[in-house]
Structure 1
Amino acid sequence: MIEGVKQQKWWGWGEDGLAYRYEDKPKFPAFVQKMVGIDVTRPVKPIPPFSSLDVPASQLSDDLHAKFDEILGAKYVQTDDETRVVHAYGKGVRDLIRIRKGDLGRVPDVVLYPGTQDEVEKLLDAAVAADAVVIPFGGGSNIVASLEAEPGESRQVISVNMGRLSKVLEIDETSGLAHIQAGVFGPDMEDQLNARGWTMGHHPDSFVWSTLGGWIATRSSGMQSDKYGDISDICRGLTMVMPGQVLSLRPLPSSSSGPSVREMVLGSEGRLGIITSAWVNVHRIPEVRELQAYFFPTYEDGLKACEQIVASDAAVMMARVSDPIETQYIMANGKKSGRVSSLANKAIQRIMLQKGWDLENIAMSFIGFEGSANHVRYEKGLVGKIVKENGGLGVGKGPGTLYDQKKYDTPYIRDFMLDRGLICDVSETTTPWAHAAEIHSVIIERFQQAMDDLGVRGVVFCHLSHSYHSGACQYFTFAIADDSDHQEETYDVAKRVIQQGFMDFHGTVSHHHGVGEEHSPWLEQDISPAGVFIQRKLFEGVDPGSNLNPGKIIHDGRPGISSNSKDA
């Protein structure tokens, strides 16, 4: 490991020693038993030691190794087995299944840690001159197979970890812009900005283990994007190193300079170069920040309320509503309550029953407010009226405070579930408001039918996570009870059913996770064959040797496995 650069554990999400625990959540075991028939309290097999892995030897040539040593210094040229394995995959469920089985794929031959843009330029030119494959690496949190080399890749594979490029370089306080290096992790970036009274306001689920460059490369969205915008709104300019040249885009509020080059880089997943820094919108830290919790009699009522909130004068920071199963999941994750909170919960349930609500069908919502005290008070009043008009009920700040404290812990549950024979993953899409309720019901129905056909227990649930003028993102989570040798095939069935459902009912392949290799089979349905043709020609023109993260976004294989290493 390199001092100052965070690294996730080789076999799962996040920091070694941190894990999801059920012992302080008395309702959780019963919830899982009810949904998928698994006893999460049973003993599990320990993770095998790293020494049990058969790690392929590095294929880095002596000549290229010497060049990298000269450019970076030997300390920042790492070829040890564990560092290479950590950089071989992202953290998708397919990645975790494979690595636990010892199926390491095409492990990088070397991991490089540049500390300046000049070093990035020199190492990229050296790599392309040697006809090597170069894969940029931020926090390693990607879940759509954007970080792995193609199977059977015969060329040298180089992972470029950007973690040393982690500084806020400049803040233009007049314009509300900050110039920030691309390898900075979310918490470190916010600490640097907060120390000067600023925030970027971008908080994806992966915030703790993802970087600014990774957000740009995947068109990330954050929990507070209803106010601050997606990364495509936040990123106003950037610098990207390409073979033999450097792209520099100034931080302009808008422009009419032909097809947007900035837009071409956003979501490019390393196919066009290595992003080294970006100019982003920043904002003064708000005076008041508050999350309020609400309940609706049905998920459809919650969807209608969010649509109306977007159309109102209430520019909320976040508007999230969970369907009935996810609502039960959230409540099952609550810790053992004290007497006062238990009485409060029972009182709320009595009110719901008096209203004629079916407690198995209720939908929980979190709505966030930021700004001055007067502004927050005004927005809460507007939202309260909309909630009431849609049959909803406000329950105060308590649940929202708990959600805010635990919002980055969710990814740890995937490792916990895999330990117990449960495959858990997510898929997200956007649709116009007119199709939001329909696509939700279709995905639930198709998933359950697919699981019934396979003869396995499974559950899928959803929340609306981001709202726009014309539509919204819905974020689906699914879990399947399958610890057989064929669990990856079972996962494939579920993933295909969900993604095809998106295509059939006015959705997109992804809202903010990107394309990678997982979602590319549906790309033609999403953007049309002509759209794929344009993307292919862009990648071929910039990268004719297919050296820059080949096989991502466009490939001819099935999810997770591309088939043509020279394909754009």
Structure 2
Amino acid sequence: MIDGVKQQKWWGWGEEGKAYHHEDKPKFAPFVKKMVGVDITAPVAPVPPFSSLDVPASRLSDALRADLESVLGAGFVQTDDETRVVHGFGKGVRDLLRVRSGRLSRLPDVVVYPGTQQEVERLVDAVVAADGVLIPFGGGSNIVAALEAKPDEHRQVVSVNLGRMNKVLEIDEVSGLAHIEAGVFGPDMEDQLRARGWTMGHHPDSFVWSTLGGWIATRSSGMQSDKYGDIADICRGLTMVMPGRVLTLRPLPSTSSGPSVREMVLGSEGRLGIITSAWVNVHRIPEVRELQAYFFPTYEDGLKACQEIVESDAAVMMARVSDAIETQYIMANGKKSSRLGSLSSKAIQKIMLQKGWDLEKIAMSFVGFEGSPTHVRYEKGLVSKIVRRHGGMGVGKGPGSLYDQKKYDTPYIRDFMLDRGLVADVSETSTPWAYAEQIHTNTVAAFQRAMDEIGVRGVVFCHLSHSYHSGACQYFTFAIADSSPDAEKTYDHAKRVIQQSFMDNHGTVSHHHGVGEEHSPWMDQDISPAGVFIQQALFDGVDPGRNLNPGKIIHEGAPGISTNSTEA
């Protein structure tokens, strides 16, 4: 490890010693038992020690090592086994299943840590001259297989960790722009901005373990994107190192300069070069920030309310609504209530029953407000009227405060589930509003049919997470009770069914996680074969030697197999 550069544990999410615990959540074990039949209170086997792994040897040549050390210094050229394993995978389910079972495939031969723009330029040229493969690495939180070398890659593989390039370089306070190095993690970036009274406002679930460069490379979206925009809106300019040249895009509010090169880089997943810094929109820290919680009789009522909120004068920071099963999941994750909290909960349920609500169908919603006290009061008033029009009710800011405190802990639950034979993952998409209910209903039904077909218990739930003028993102979480050696095949079946349902119901392959190798089989359905042709021509033109993270975005085989309906 390199001083000052955070590194996740090799076998799961986040830092060693931090994990999800259910003991203080009395409703969670019964919820899991009810949904998938698994007893999460039973003892589990510990994760095997790292020493038990058979790590393939590095293939780094003496010549390339010497070149890299001359550019970076020997201390920033790492070939130890654990560093290579950590950088050889993202944190997708397939990644975790493979690394836990010791199926390590093609690891990077070396991990390098440049500290300056000039060092990135020199190392890119050195690796390309040696006909090596370059894979940019941010925080390692990617879940679509965008960080792995191809299994049959015979060339030397270099993982480029930008963690030393982590500074806010400049703030243009007149324009509301900041120039920031691409390797900065979310919390470190916000700390630097907040010290000067600013915020970028971009908070994905992976915020603690992802970087600015990674957000740009995958077209990330954050929890507060309803106000601040997706990273495609936030990123106004950037610098990217390419073989033999450097792309520099100035931070302009808008341009008419032909096909947008900025848009070509957004979501490029390392296939065009290594992003080293970016100019981004920043905002003054708001006076008031508040999350209010609401309930609706059904998820469909909540969807319609969110659409109306977007169409109204209430420019909220976030508008999120969970379907019935996810609402039960959220409530099951609550800690043991105090007497006052228990009474309050019972009082709310009594009101719901008096309204004729079915407690098995209720949908929970969080709406976020930011700005001056006057502005927040005005927006809350507008939202309250919309909620009531759709049969909903407000329950105050207590649940929202709890959600705000725990929002970055969610990824830890996947490791907890895997320990107990539960394979859990997420898939997200976006559709026009006209198809929002349809894609939810049909995707849930398709998943359940798939589980029935193979005789495995599973559960899927969903929330609307990001809203736009014409539509919204819906974020599906699914869990499968399979601790057998065939768990990866079961996961594949479920994942393919969900992704194909997106295609069949007017959705996109991914809203903000990117493509990688996981989603590439559906790209021709998503953007048409002609769209894939354009992307391929772009990658071939920029990188004819296939040195820049080859195999991502354009489908080249596994894990997708084909693109024919649910057999994709």
Q: TM-score band (shorter)?
A: over 0.9
Q: Secondary structure at the match of 2:20?
A: coil
Write out per-residue CA displacement over residues 12-65 of structure 1, whole angstroms, 9 at most, x where no aligned residue. Answer: 000000000000000000000000000000000000000000000000000000
Paired residue for 1:533?
533
Residue in 2 that maps onto 1:565: none
Aligned equivalent of 1:19: 19
Instruction: Name the counterpart of 1:382.
Output: 382
Q: Is the 8 A contact 1:442 1:501 kept in 2?
A: yes
SS state at 2:479 partner: strand
TM-fit CA distance, 1:558 = 3.0
Give the Cα separation in 1 of the matches to 2:134 and 2:158. 5
Tell me if the contact between 1:320 and 1:464 (Cα under 8 Å) persists in the aligned partners. Answer: yes
Map residues 438-517 of structure 1 onto 2, 5 A cutoff. 438-517=438-517
Give 1:199's aligned residue. 199
Q: Corresponding residue for 2:61?
A: 61
Distance 1:140 1:105 in 2: 17
- Residue equivalent to 2:100: 100
Alignment match, 2:122: 122
1:244-255 map, 5 Å:
244-255=244-255
Per-residue CA distance 1:79-129 (angstroms, 9 max, x = gap): 000000000000001100000110011010000000000000000000000
C-alpha distance in 1 between matches for 2:369 and 2:62: 57
The code of the aligned residue for 1:48 comes to: P
- Letter paired with 1:28: F
Match of 1:209 in 2: 209
Question: Residue 143 of structure 1 aligns with which residue?
Answer: 143
CA contact 1:517–1:561 (8 Å) conserved in 2: no
Distance 2:413 2:341 in 1: 26
Give the SS at the match of 2:246: strand
Q: Distance in 2 between matches of 1:70 and 1:124?
A: 13
Distance 1:93 1:194 in 2: 34
Amino acid at match of 1:123: L
Shift of 1:556: 2.3
SS in 1 for 2:423: strand
CA contact under 8 A between 2:428 and 2:474: conserved in structure 1? yes
Query: C-alpha displacement at 1:461, in angstroms?
Result: 0.1
**How far, CA to CA, are the matches of 2:127 and 2:94 in structure 1?**
29
Q: Secondary structure at the match of 2:208?
A: helix
Q: Which amino acid aligns with 1:270?
A: G
- 1:566 maps to what in 2? none
CA distance in 2, matches of 1:471, 1:493: 28
Give yes or no for contact 2:520–2:560 (8 Å, CA) kept in 1: no
Instruction: Give the deviation of 1:560 after TM superposition.
Output: 6.4
Q: Distance in 2 between matches of 1:100 and 1:164?
A: 28
Contact kept, 8 Å, 1:145 with 1:560, in 2: the verdict is: no
CA contact (8 A) 1:309 1:386 kept: yes
- Residue identity matched to 1:223: M
Instruction: Could you list the structure 1 runs, at least 4 aligned residues long, displaced by more than 4 angstroms after superposition.
Output: none
Tell me which residue corresponds to 1:423: 423
Question: Where does 1:99-498 land on structure 2 (aligned, <5 Å)?
Answer: 99-498=99-498
Kept in 2, the 8 Å contact 1:151–1:561? The answer is: no
- AA at the equivalent of 2:389: E
Mean Cα displacement is larger for which, 549-558 or 374-383?
549-558
* Separation in structure 2 between the aligned mates of residue 236 and residue 243 of structure 1, nearest angstrom: 23
Q: How many residues align?
A: 562
Could you give the per-residue CA deviations for residues 293-333 of structure 1, whole angstroms, max 9, x where no partner exists? 00000000000000000000000000000000000000000
Post-superposition offset of 1:152: 1.4
**SS at structure 2 position matched to 1:174:** coil
Q: Distance in 2 between matches of 1:409 and 1:559?
A: 28
| Pairwise CA distance, 1:559 | 2.5
Letter paired with 2:316: V
Q: Which amino acid aligns with 2:157?
A: V
Contact 2:503 2:509 in 1 (8 A): yes
Q: Give secondary structure in 1 for the equivalent of 2:309.
A: helix
CA contact (8 A) 2:14 2:412 kept: yes
> Does the Cα contact within 8 Å between 2:521 and 2:560 map onto a contact in 1?
no
User: SS of the residue aligned with 1:33?
Assistant: helix
The CA deviation at 1:475 is 0.1
Q: Distance in 1 between matches of 2:389 and 2:355?
A: 14
Cα distance between partner residues in 2 of 1:245 and 1:81? 32
Gap regions ≥5 residues in structure 1: 563-568
Per-residue CA deviations over 1:347-380 (Å, capped at 9, x if unaligned) read 0000000000000000000000000000000000
Q: Deviations over 1:435-489 (max 9, x none)?
A: 0001000001010000001000000000000000000000000000001010000
Cα pair 2:521 2:561 within 8 Å, conserved:
no
Counterpart of 1:472 in 2: which secondary structure?
Answer: strand
Distance, in Å, in 2 between the alignment partners of 1:202 and 1:35 is 33
Task: Work out whether residues 321 and 365 of structure 1, in 8 Å CA contact, stay in contact via their aligned partners in 2.
Answer: yes
RMSD over equivalenced CA pairs, Å = 0.7
Report the 3-state secondary structure (helix = DSSP H, G, I; strand = E; otherwise coil) of the residue aligned with 1:387.
Answer: helix
Q: TM-score, normalised by structure 1?
A: 0.99
Partner of 1:518: 518
